[in-house]
Amino acid sequence: MAEATLRMVRLVIRAPKLVSFAGRNLPRQQDDTSFLVHRLLASLFGEGVLQPFRVLDEERRSLPVLGYTGRSEEELRDHADSFADPLAHSAVEWGSFATKPMPHPWETGRHLGFEVKVCPVVRLASARDVEWLGEPRTLQRGAELDAFVHRRHMNGDDEATREGVYRDWTAERLHPAADILSSFLRSFRRRKLIRKTHEEVRRTQVLERPEALVGGILSVRDPKAFAAILASGVGRHKAFGFGMLLLHPET
């Protein structure tokens, strides 16, 4: 079977209709736009079809969104026309919907500028008893911790910097597809994220996680692995607006 061509998709979403469709039955005091976009994209194209994705500007009434997919533009439009909730369908400005094929194969050693919004967390392999904000606390196996907090406060690396830790975290997840030649931390914030539990009766919960925008220059080491990284995304929470690797000319 021939390998599917990876395509970049651009669509613009009308924010009021996004909230009307995807914000139903969610807490009123929430601002996780990417979670709402996740629900909309699943209705339009199917679960996980347009993933990873990134909302480029969450403050606009018309939200520009980029994403990667293995489906053609015709397949995406046909699925949305045939199966999407009408309110979800009406949330998209279809006149500006566009796709393009990504290069394939990538050239070994090619230098590329990159930017990626990541959720830089590590998961505990076992339960840990820690002192948290001055009080004893047990962190369960599988708990997600900010990678910087984990290295500096749980592994005792007093010289660790947030920028350095996030660079290493990103580099580990790009390996062996690509090497980071230089990087910088464009922005960082703590972000409240909406998620559904995996219980039989699923509940809505609000988590707080780090959000970092990392940029720099990379060198392609393994073209096939690099194409796979583009298609799958970087790190955790890739279904919810994290991990889309955006590329630009080396500068």
The string of pLDDT tens digits covering residues 98-144 is 999 999 899 999 999 999 999 999 988 888 777 666 677 787 887 88
In this structure, the answer to whether residues 46 and 115 fall within a common structural domain is no
> What is the domain-level CATH number for residue 81?
3.30.70
Flag whether pLDDT at 24 surpasses 80: no
Q: Kindly give the residue spans of alpha helices, DSSP state H, lying in 46-146.
A: 73-83, 86-90
Same structural domain for residues 49 and 116?
A: no
> Rounded distance, CA 24 to CA 20, Å?
7
Rounded Cα distance between 209 and 215, Å, is 19
- Assigned domain for 129 exists: no
At residue 2 the predicted structure's pLDDT band, cuts being 50, 70 and 90, is low
**Per-residue model confidence (pLDDT) at position 84:** 97
**Same structural domain, 173 and 63:** no
- In 3D, which of 4, 33, 8 has the Cα closest to residue 192? 33
**For the chain, how many helices (H) and strands (E)?**
7, 12
Whether residue 165 lies inside any domain: the answer is yes
Res. 1: pLDDT tops 50 = no
| Residue 81: inside a domain | yes
DSSP β-bridge partners for residue 12: 64
Q: Say if residue 27's pLDDT is above 70.
A: no
What confidence tens digit (pLDDT) does each residue in 141-181 have? 878 899 998 898 777 778 899 999 999 999 999 999 999 99
Residue 106 lies in a domain: no
146 belongs to a structural domain: no
Whether 16 is in a domain gets the answer yes
Which pLDDT tens digit goes with each residue over 190-204? 988 877 666 666 667
Residues 95 and 217 placed together within one structural domain of the fold: no
Number of structural domains found in the chain: 2
- 116 and 235: one domain? yes
Domain match, 194 and 244 both: yes
Q: Does one domain contain both 75 and 167? A: no
Whether 60 and 180 share a structural domain: no
What average pLDDT does this structure show over 13-34? 81
Residues 32 and 89 grouped into a single domain? yes
For residue 134, tell me if it sits in a domain: no
Contact 142, 122 (CB under 8 A): no
CATH of the domain at 229: 3.30.70.1210
75 and 117 in a single domain? The answer is no
What local confidence, expressed as pLDDT, does residue 203 receive? 67
115 and 236 share one domain: yes
Residue 155 lies in a domain: no
Domain limits at 15?
7-101
Give me the mean pLDDT over the 10-39 stretch.
84
- Strands 53-55 and 204-220 come out as unpaired
Residues 35, 74 within the same domain: yes
